[in-house]
Amino acid sequence: MIQVALAGNPNTGKTSLFNNLTGSYEYVGNWAGVTVEKKVGTLKQVPGLLIDLPGIYSLNPVSRDEGVATQYLLSEKFSAILNIVDASQLERNLYLTVQLLEFEKPLLIGLNMIDVARNRGIQIDYEQLSALLGVPIQPIVARTGDGCSRLPLMLQQSSEQSAVLFRLDYGSILEQGINRLTELLPTHTNLPSKRWIALQFFEENPIVTDLLSGFVNREQLLDLRQETERLVQEKTGARSLHQYIRQVRGSFISDIVKRSVRVTKQATYTMTEQVDRIVTNKFLGIPVFLLFMFLVFQFTFDWAGTPLSDLLDAFFTGPLAGFFEQMLTLAGTSGFIEALILEGILPGVGGVLVFVPQIFILFLIISFIEDSGYMARVAMVMDRMMEGVGLNGKAFIPMIIGFGCNVPGIMAARTIEQPKERLITTLLTPLMSCSARLTVYSLFAGALFQTHQALVVLSLYVIGIVVALLLAHLFSTYLFKQESSIFLVELPPYRLPQWKTLLRSTWEKGKGFIKKAGTFIFGGSVVIWLLGYTGPSGLHVDINNSFLAAIGGLIAPWLTPLGFGTWQAGAALLTGFFAKEVVVTTMNILYAPSAAETLQGAVANVYTPLQAYSFMAFLLLYVPCFATLATIRKEAASARWTWFTVGYALFIAYLVALVIYQGGRLMGFE
């Protein structure tokens, strides 16, 4: 069985190919840094595993996700490397290829994006290139699958052969240094190529340096590096050893490119350039983004989402409930079971499922942002504002992904280079309004703000962003020592996403929501209903004397200053800790809308618009859900920071809701 590692620069189509060859679906998007963990898949055509890795520019890692790739190559057993190279940016991509060749494992190049290269008039002589590098090359279009079907067999062949010997001449001084270092290395270890290790060490690759200090005296190592660097500087005038090595590789590569590539027409990026002139404009950038978001909500609510959702609701509460009622009567079930199903499970699960249209529309639009190339632009546009608060534009990418679900958002923070900025982003991404919270907004906005739904919801998203930025400023000033920041984001060319990819990506995000409804929310409905049905005084009590009322009543007084000091609100918020949609489930069971009335009607009777807005703001900011906290715990590797998140979130939520409600009353709203 073969085991092949996929390696290549970011955003070159590795995951697209992985999905194609393994039949799985992993996250694909048009910006650098989509994949942040290694993913293993089973090859369809030949027995073997394919391992998708985060994209890297070099084996010398800068950020945490890049470290994953280098670490994998160093510590895992695999039979070959499949190096994905972007044909439209050959010269830059080959820099990594050279380092992979030096690694001396069987290597195969998948030359991807040849469709893009062709459009730009880039003609590559594959055979010549393959001969110059000494490895097989297969041209492919990973997005459509063209040329990909030959890869598995080629991989199998490569895996059986030994690696070709690749020797780039680094000049006598460095070669001497390399020899001296390799002599220091023990012979019987499962280390990769010694030459590779030596070169990476001279380049100051931290992972390799750590690895080496397990075998060789650290001081001896550093002395050797210093001496070699000094000699190289004297002889060549290079600034550093690192720069010198880059230079040698660079001139080798440009020579190869000169001999195998012909550009037949002048590059024209007119479409991308014209769009960028507006979208990334210094003054227009942020307004354009806000307008885009506004249209998103207009679409999600007024134009498509809510009408569809109303239809679903009518179906659930009408024909479906009727059908269940008849079936239960026919089966002659007890009153208890009947109540459990008709007043607990059906409204509990159905009440959340009716929001499927809104959520899927939102996911469709997020997928569009991801796959079109707009994502990196938003990061760039936001960079100046983010820098003002001690982060950089890249931190905005996790936040946008967080609009879908906070969990992948937090994972995306791995691509941020500075540890401090990464941690702050991890801690603040939960303030982004995720799709689960959208169900609650839909409920309240539909009940109390019918004419301005999109605007009200947009304002909540903006509150989340603004609070996150303010806190980022606070945290980076008072909690962490300052570190200098670099902002490197690549602007990929815009690509019109394919429908197939978009729908697939939407479904992959949305299916979790449906699954949750069938499992977690289903179970939650049963528990919540039981807690509302039973009480300290016995079975089947009035709901106001139930356990649920007792539990909710404990925190209700605390909520009174915020405008929603009822036990129902208290109970709903408590259950929301498990998943934010469960708030809707709880309300559906608690307010038990009758046939003549919808839940929205019931809510409109209990809340004023001001109270509703305060409630939504509180729900947006208070404790992250359980899954999000677990992710923070893992990514920040600290229980303390996890508790810190719970603490600051509760505090800020209380403060903001208080200001909204009390301020609103002072201004004469009710």
Ligand X SMILES: Nc1nc2c(ncn2[C@@H]2O[C@H](COP(=O)(O)OP(=O)(O)OP(=O)(O)O)[C@@H](O)[C@H]2O)c(=O)[nH]1
**Interface ranges with ligand X (CB under 6 A):** 8, 10-16, 28-30, 32-35, 54-55, 112-113, 115-116, 141-143, 371, 495, 501
116 contact choice in ligand X, Mg ion, none (CB below 5 to 8 Å, kind-dependent) = ligand X
Nearer to ligand X, 357 or 497 (CB): 497
111 contact choice in Mg ion, ligand X, none (CB below 5 to 8 Å, kind-dependent) = none
- Cα 301 from Cα 308, distance rounded (Å): 9
CA–CA distances in Å: residue 661 to residues 6, 441, 605: 54, 17, 18
- Nearest residue relative to ligand X (C-beta): 55
48 contact choice in Mg ion, ligand X, none (CB below 5 to 8 Å, kind-dependent) = none
Interior/surface letters 61-99, b for 16+ CB within 10 angstroms, e for the rest: bbbbbbbbbbebbbeeebbbbbbbbbbbbbeebbbbbbb
Nearer to Mg ion, 14 or 194 (CB): 14
Minimum distance between the CB of residue 400 and Mg ion, rounded to whole angstroms? 17
| CB-side neighbour CA atoms (13 Å) of 587 | 27
Q: Which two tokens stand for residue 255?
A: 């020579």
- Choose the stretch contacting Mg ion; rule: CB under 5 A; options: 13-21, 36-44, 114-122, 184-192: 13-21
Return phi, psi of residue 107, to 5°: -130, 140
Collapse the DSSP code of 141 into the 3-class scheme (helix H, G, I; strand E, B; otherwise coil) and give the result: strand
141 contact choice in ligand X, Mg ion, none (CB below 5 to 8 Å, kind-dependent) = ligand X
Nearer to ligand X, 371 or 421 (CB): 371
Nearer to ligand X, 398 or 624 (CB): 398
Minimum distance between the CB of residue 100 and Mg ion, rounded to whole angstroms? 17
Minimum distance between the CB of residue 86 and Mg ion, rounded to whole angstroms? 13
Nearer to ligand X, 59 or 657 (CB): 59
- Cα 488 from Cα 605, distance rounded (Å): 52
Cα–Cα nearest to 104, from 183, 59, 178, 162: 162
- Choose the stretch contacting Mg ion; rule: CB under 5 A; options: 9-17, 173-181, 442-450, 623-631: 9-17
Collapse the DSSP code of 356 into the 3-class scheme (helix H, G, I; strand E, B; otherwise coil) and give the result: helix
Task: Give how many residues touch Mg ion by CB under 5 A.
Answer: 4
Minimum distance between the CB of residue 107 and ligand X, rounded to whole angstroms? 17
Region of 113 on the Ramachandran plot (φ > 0 left; ψ -120 to 50 alpha; else beta): left
- Residue that is written with structure tokens 């998103």 in the block: 296
Nearer to ligand X, 4 or 649 (CB): 4
x-or-dash pattern for Mg ion, window 614-653, by CB under 5 A?
----------------------------------------
Cα–Cα nearest to 433, from 283, 642, 622: 622
What is the length of the chain?
670
- Choose the stretch contacting Mg ion; rule: CB under 5 A; options: 7-15, 341-349, 546-554, 577-585: 7-15
Scan residues 21-80 and list those touching Mg ion (CB under 5 A). 34-35
113 contact choice in Mg ion, ligand X, none (CB below 5 to 8 Å, kind-dependent) = ligand X
8 Å CB contact between 428 and 410: no
Nearer to Mg ion, 354 or 412 (CB): 412
Q: Which two tokens stand for residue 305?
A: 């989402």
Minimum distance between the CB of residue 368 and ligand X, rounded to whole angstroms? 11
Minimum distance between the CB of residue 399 and ligand X, rounded to whole angstroms? 17
Return phi, psi of residue 490, to 5°: -90, 140
Minimum distance between the CB of residue 163 and Mg ion, rounded to whole angstroms? 25
8 Å CB contact between 249 and 98: yes
Q: CA gyration radius for the chain?
A: 29
Residue 122, strand partner residues: 263
Nearer to ligand X, 2 or 113 (CB): 113
Minimum distance between the CB of residue 14 and Mg ion, rounded to whole angstroms? 5
Collapse the DSSP code of 310 into the 3-class scheme (helix H, G, I; strand E, B; otherwise coil) and give the result: helix
371 contact choice in ligand X, Mg ion, none (CB below 5 to 8 Å, kind-dependent) = ligand X
Nearer to Mg ion, 35 or 418 (CB): 35
Nearer to ligand X, 37 or 210 (CB): 37
Nearer to ligand X, 14 or 422 (CB): 14
Among 9, 12, 15, 631, binds Mg ion (CB under 5 A): 15
Nearer to ligand X, 369 or 445 (CB): 369
Q: What is the DSSP letter of 262?
A: E
Nearer to ligand X, 151 or 467 (CB): 151
- Cα 396 from Cα 31, distance rounded (Å): 13
Minimum distance between the CB of residue 469 and Mg ion, rounded to whole angstroms? 29
Residue 80, strand partner residues: 4
Minimum distance between the CB of residue 203 and Mg ion, rounded to whole angstroms? 25
Q: What is the DSSP letter of 165?
A: P
8 Å CB contact between 347 and 593: yes
Minimum distance between the CB of residue 379 and ligand X, rounded to whole angstroms? 13
Minimum distance between the CB of residue 198 and ligand X, rounded to whole angstroms? 28
Task: Tell me the pairing of strands 2-8 and 48-52.
Answer: parallel
Q: What is the DSSP string of 600-666?
A: HHHHHHH--HHHHHHHHHHHHHSS--HHHHHHHHHHHT-HHHHHHHHHHHHHHHHHHHHHHHHHHHH
Minimum distance between the CB of residue 310 and ligand X, rounded to whole angstroms? 35
Q: Does 506 contact Mg ion by CB under 5 A?
A: no
10 contact choice in Mg ion, ligand X, none (CB below 5 to 8 Å, kind-dependent) = ligand X
142 contact choice in Mg ion, ligand X, none (CB below 5 to 8 Å, kind-dependent) = ligand X
Region of 336 on the Ramachandran plot (φ > 0 left; ψ -120 to 50 alpha; else beta): alpha
Interface ranges with Mg ion (CB under 5 A): 14-15, 34-35
